[in-house]
Amino acid sequence: MGKILIIDDDKQVCETMQSLISRTDHESESAQSISRGMEKLEKNSYDLVFLDISLPDGNGLDALASIKESRGRPEVIILTGKGDPDGAELAIQGGAWDFLVKPSSIKQLTLSINRAMEFRSEKQSKGECVVLNLSNVVGKSEEINNCYQHLAHASGSDANTLITGETGTGKELFARTIHDNSSRAASNFVIVDCASLTETLVESTLFGHKRGSFTGAQADRKGLVPLADKGTLFLDEVGEMPLAVQKSFLRVLQERTYRPVGENKEYKSDFRLISATNRDLDAMVERGEFRQDLLYRIKTIHISLPSLRERSGDIRELALFHLDRLTNRYGGPRKEIDPEFFEILYNYDWPGNVRQLFNSIEQSFVAAGSGNTIYPMHLPHEIRIEAVKSDIEKKSRKSVTGSTNINQDLPLSEFSSQQQQEGLGRSEFSDPVAEVLSGDLPSMKEYKGIAERKYLEELQKRYEGNISEILKISGLSRSHFYALLKKHGISQ
């Protein structure tokens, strides 16, 4: 017997769904808003959640990630009155099990429930047997946790896997982790730098050559493809592979056979393929820069790694992890880190992602010398300069908006009277929440969105990024808090 939650503001829909679910021998509860649904998800473990999109306190799709990461990690079925193709795309991309449009037939609903519960049961039974070695992969944020699920799928199969993400997000690390957790771990992990492949040397590099097969071939050479036999062939920056090379490699990928230069005989290589790129291969296909048939071949499993700014909740853990590695490498006692050091790390955008973070931590570690503590002054100049500029911009915005000494517990209707008591006119106070009162009143949904954003910004400001204190004061879960920051585009 499973437990199902229905999040829908229509009580009649909830009652009908609960009646239907009772016939399938499952338990059910309902909630008429996202906030009430999240409260139930925090307290109880559910197997399946039916989620409406248009809810009184927001868009259900914005809460999809938080629901999937909540206690019990339930499957989610979108049940909405709006048959929006874009909404369906977002839902499926977000991991929804199904997207149903009201009114749905009893047969369709029952079938979707049964299939989702069977899928969950099978996933849980298999998941209990999978123990991954993630010793070199760091992070517990919602964004990186989603990648771990795909990593587990890739590790448990021989399917061709494509890893995408910005430079420095850890694509090669993920590829090695998949290899190390696969049945091929005892064999070679062979890296092909696609950016360095040229049309003249590609066959020799990939397939090898016989002595004397061309000028300069003074000895037999084994190529990278045969070296990867029984192991993993990793195509690094596959988006840089020239079109002519793509054509040569496609047949090798299809047949798993190759012919060394100067040989008439073909050989087999039983390799598993993992590819990685920081480029948009779909866009390259549209421009004729990448073969569509090759993309289909390499993308059986797709892992999209988030940038560091999208998983800022992992910055502290990543920094401490690398600091431990540096301590082991250089020896001596572990250095402490000044709290302001982390504040600067949180406020920086990290265009070079984890690679840049690790490099900055090492520079700071070396700059600290024999000192016991790493301070902000030990960071690279460009990061400190960016932090100072950001701070100046924040103070400039603060001075423009006027006094920020406003009781956050006051309803909006009382803002203007408080401003008068403090001698503030509307022309001097340009707070976005107050501004909406100067014209036509917004809808309740818009009003709540503005107030929610202001509350989050005030939390960040008062507690200076102290997540433990923020979660304690707000009553939010860690995953829900990060989801709200992402929803409103607020950097941590």
Burial track 267-281 (b if 16+ CB lie within 10 A, e otherwise): bebebbbbbbbbeeb
> Which CATH code fits 3-127?
3.40.50.2300
How many angstroms separate the CA atoms of 239 and 298, rounded?
11
| Residue-wise pLDDT tens digits, 88-129 | 877 887 788 888 888 888 888 889 899 888 888 877 665 544
pLDDT top residue among 40 and 220: 40
Q: Domain 311-488's class?
A: mainly alpha
Inter-CA distances, 152 with 79, 123, 481, Å? 29, 11, 26
pLDDT average, residue stretch 415-420: 44
| Residue-wise pLDDT tens digits, 155-179 | 988 999 999 999 999 999 999 999 9
> Which CATH code fits 142-306?
3.40.50.300
pLDDT top residue among 485 and 51: 51
* pLDDT band with cut points at 50, 70 and 90 for residue 38: very high
Per domain, the residue ranges of the chain are 3-127, 142-306, 311-488
- Angle at 215 (CA atoms; ends 211, 219), nearest 5 degrees: 25
- The reply to whether 142-306 and 311-488 are identical in fold is no
Strand partners, 374: 337
| Residue-wise pLDDT tens digits, 397-410 | 655 554 444 454 44
